[in-house]
Amino acid sequence: MESKNIWVAASDGVMDRVKQLIEKDNISVDAKDQNGYTPLHAAVSYDHLDIVQYLLEKKADVAIVDTDGDTPLHVCETVECAEILVNHGADPAQTNQEGFTSGPYETALDNEFFEVANFLRQRLGLPEVQPAAEEEEGLVASESDEEDRMRVPLTQDQAQRLAEMTDTPSDSQLREIATQMILDSLNNGYANDDKP
């Protein structure tokens, strides 16, 4: 245990070691490794909320960036952790070097942390994405990457399932719907290729 540096200790959730390094060995709460990663980045990445709280109490910089320009909020995977960071001043709109206009929100979407993305979307005041009806089938915007947008047709069953969801859908529900939409889209594409 003694050989663990502060980033490994924070990643592993070893509070005693993190405290020892900061309080007895005078390691900076904002110490950066060769990639600019801080103890707060490490604790947030592995959702060690007790260490996140401790580091923030020790005045860790919630807006500090690593070499990619990511703040700890960019690497957050749970709503509980995101809420702690935002309540301590983390900016949901801070962009990183990828240039995402909504910063951590789009990073969460890209990494499929949909609950975090929804929380940050609400904090940013962004409108909720709703399926749009078009003739008999619904269409919903789907982002394949940051720059390319495509419209994927929803079957009536998929549109109905989305409409019936009153709570935020779970990650598994979203993955199931997205997978089916992609498969349907691919099947429709192949069928259209056969037409003269």
Beta strand pairing call for 132-134 and 137-143: antiparallel
Q: What is the DSSP string of 62-86?
A: TT---TT---GGGG--SHHHHHHHH
Helix (H) or strand (E) holding 140: strand 137-143
The pTM of the full predicted model, rounded to 2 decimals, is: 0.64
What is the per-residue burial (b if ≥16 Cβ within 10 Å, else e) of 46-57? eebeebbebbbe
Other residues' Cβ atoms within 10 Å of the Cβ of residue 75:
23
Structural domain containing residue 186:
132-193
Shared-domain flag, residues 71 and 140:
no
pLDDT (tens place) for every residue of the chain, 196 residues total: 455 899 999 999 999 999 999 999 999 999 999 999 999 999 999 999 999 999 999 999 999 999 988 999 999 999 999 999 999 999 998 888 766 555 898 889 888 999 999 999 899 888 775 444 443 344 444 444 433 433 344 555 555 555 555 455 566 666 676 666 666 666 665 544 454 4
Q: Last residue of a domain, which of 124, 151, 177?
A: 124
Sign of the alpha-carbon dihedral angle for 39, 43, 44, 49: negative
Shared-domain flag, residues 73 and 147:
no
- CATH number of the domain residue 27 falls in: 1.25.40.20
CA distance 11 to 80: 17
Shared-domain flag, residues 78 and 103:
yes
Shared-domain flag, residues 34 and 74:
yes
Structural domains of the chain, count: 2
DSSP bridge pairs for 25: none
Helix (H) or strand (E) holding 134: strand 132-134
Shared-domain flag, residues 67 and 150:
no
Q: Is residue 1 part of a domain?
A: no
